[in-house]
Chain A
Amino acid sequence: MYLNYLANVGRYIPELLLVVLMVGLILIEATYSNDEKNKKYIFIATCIGLVATLAALIANFSAKGEAIFSNSMIIDPFSTVMKMIMVIGTFGAFYLSSFSKDIYESLKTEFIILAVGVLIGGMILASANNMLMIYLGIETLSILSYVMASLKKNDERSSEAGLKYALYGGVSSGIALFGLSHMFGVLGTIQFAGMAEMITKLDKAQIMILMPSFILFFVGIGYKIASVPFHMWAPDVYEGSPTPVTTFFAVVPKLAGISALVRVTMIFFTVQSPLRVGWIGLMMVMAALTMTVGNVSAINQKSVKRMLAYSSISHAGIMMAGLVLINQIGVRAVVFYGITYVFMTLVAFYITSIVQDKYGNDHFDRFQGLAYRYPFMAVMMTVTMFSLIGLPPLAGFVAKWNIINALLSSRYYSLAIILVLNSAVSAFYYLKIVRLMTLKTQESNETIEGFGFLNQLVVVALTAPVFVLGIFWESVMGLAEGAKIFIK
């Protein structure tokens, strides 16, 4: 048994590296009192830790899927790809935090420690193979997020965001736990594969008992990805939190939730049963609602961060639309969408954060005439916005087209039409920023310190994938294609 565990550790290196990184950061923060030196060490340690994790994940990718630790976790290409995306998102948020003024100088280390903790939770969620791990993942993801949202302690909105997040989060994970315990009561096991096997043996009445429990379970995940009936927290939390934290929230918990949802969908609902029909119906309604409500609410926002929050809600809806298919094509489309979504989100938030640092708020007006002062950055923002709308030849187009194509191939015409209409609606508010940047005269000639050479370089480097994935998408599509789900 013990040897078994040692053998399993080999596949679990990325998570262990992150745990070591987290503990190491705590130790460094506690040991060095000298502020400047401390900051440098923390920066270097985090870089090394995250890059090492990414390398370990890449090394893990080509290996076959495997169930480890008494079948409680699954390490398969799908979970590895999702983890890679999450690590990249964390790295982006971390670099943003290193120069952002939105996070207090004295709390920057704590931000990274908590972010790494949330990342571990996201990784647990991405490869969880039983209900206990799913719940543990949700809790690790949530509890630390509450604190991250209220990191700006002297700011009222940030504290409000943290409290709101905690209240909503506590209630929804309680509801999810109720659903999970109900499933355990009916099926008698917490292992996903065992549960799926039991489901095929149930008769109709017993399946009717399970249906509400799956809905309750969906509440917990739906809250993490801000799907529509449970999205009320998202705009307030996104607006109130410091911008690096918002960047982090828009990527890691969302993708972790999506990957857990993908795994659950692929395990439980591949067999024909009333449950499958119910789940597809639920997903269709939720996806359509999430897309529409997110887009429509985004139109009238004054704050760019809030607009991006609503837009991230609608993007979660699009990814959920890929889940309706319950086959490998849908998974591939969702994974590809996740990869593109990360880069688009990072660029949008980077530029918003830098502008916000300069002016103290993030209203749309602050972007006026940005094209005259920082043409390069304005171009990058424009490209990202076009990509978020889904215009060719950018990455967002390929990602959306993939999902629409998959939907059409399985004859979900109504959902595909809703998706296309939503893209048209989203153009309205994404283009608003572009219009302000290019067509309005500038407010002032001040230089924005945040747009130093290095930061501009980073933004360009983050935008590059948006270009490249739009044109040379085959290789990444191959990566997403290889992201097979392993069930045991």
Chain B
Amino acid sequence: MAIDILLTLLTVVFSLMVVFSKKTVVAAFSLLMTLLVIAMIYFQLGTVFLSAVQVLVNAGAIAILFVFVMMLINLEQFQNNREKSKWKLIVSTLTMLVLLGVFALVINNNIEALSVVNLTDNSMKTLFAKLFDVYYLPFEMATVLLLASIVASIVITSHDKAEKLEEK
């Protein structure tokens, strides 16, 4: 229980740092740490595979990609300065209140539905049995999405195609 609370607090602290830190690198690093701590929470819950994927994909690839982009572009001009406005404050307070209310309701009402889901049975075998059985169609459709995304990324990045039309 103590570890749970510690991890939760760490997540909150790091995600606040993502938003409020003045330096972009610190924000990116905090994002990385947030993702890692969330992976630890998954591990704590017993979902080992999810935790590994979280570390590999989210922390390993995406957060590093952020840092990489920051190294490529000039950092000085992208300081984390955002304007403050009254509306932003009102809307964020409202959202926070609603979420806190929901949270309070969840605690008060003992939602049991999640106990139906077996968190610990997540061996690769069961996972992929489901992926190729119940969730076969989403899996296949995701491949279609990826294929089209490849074309899309070529459209965006290819210089060749853009040059051709300059001539026209």
Binding site for B on A (CB under 8 A): 1, 5, 19, 22-23, 26, 69-70, 72-73, 104-107, 110, 113-114, 117, 120-121, 124, 132-133, 136, 139-140, 143-144, 146-147, 150-151, 153-154, 182, 185-189, 198, 203, 205-206, 208-209, 212
Contact = CB atoms under 8 A, between A and B. Distances in A.
Interface of B: 98-99, 102, 105-106, 108-109, 111, 113-114, 116-117, 133-138, 141-142, 144-145, 147-149, 151-156, 161-162, 164-166, 168
The 3 A-B pairs at the shortest CB distance, nearest first, are namely: A188-B113, A117-B148, A147-B152
B107 to A, nearest CB: 10
A171 B162 CA distance: 29
B165 to A, nearest CB: 4
Contact of A209 (B106, B116, B149, B153): B106
A205 B108 contact: yes
Contact of A208 (B105, B134, B141, B155): B105
Contacts of B136: 5, 69-70
Nearest to A141: B145
Given A69-B136, A72-B134, A113-B148, 20 more contacts: A23-B147, A70-B136, A72-B138, A104-B162, A105-B168, A106-B164, A106-B165, A107-B155, A107-B161, A117-B151, A140-B141, A143-B149, A146-B152, A185-B113, A186-B106, A187-B113, A188-B117, A206-B109, A206-B111, A212-B99
B61 to A, nearest CB: 17
Contact of B135 (A132, A147, A203): A132
Contact of B113 (A133, A153, A186, A203): A186
Contacts of A114: 148, 151-152, 155
Given A73-B137, A133-B137, A105 B113 contact: no
Interface of A is mostly: helix
A150 B156 contact: yes
B155 A209 contact: no
A165 to B, nearest CB: 13
A355 B136 CA distance: 47
A189 B161 CA distance: 46
Contacts of B137: 69-70, 72-73, 133
Contacts of B111: 185-186, 206, 209
A26 to B, nearest CB: 6
Contacts of A73: 137
A317 B165 CA distance: 39
Contacts of A188: 113-114, 116-117
B162 A154 contact: yes
A140 B144 CA distance: 9
27 contacts: A22-B148, A69-B137, A70-B136, A72-B137, A104-B168, A105-B168, A106-B164, A114-B151, A117-B145, A117-B151, A120-B141, A120-B148, A136-B138, A136-B141, A139-B145, A140-B145, A140-B148, A147-B153, A147-B156, A150-B156, A185-B113, A188-B114, A188-B117, A198-B113, A206-B109, A206-B111, A212-B99
A143 B162 contact: no
Counting chain A CB atoms within 10 Å of each CB, the highest count among B106, B155, B166, B168 belongs to B155
A147 B135 CA distance: 28
Contacts of B147: 22-23, 26, 117
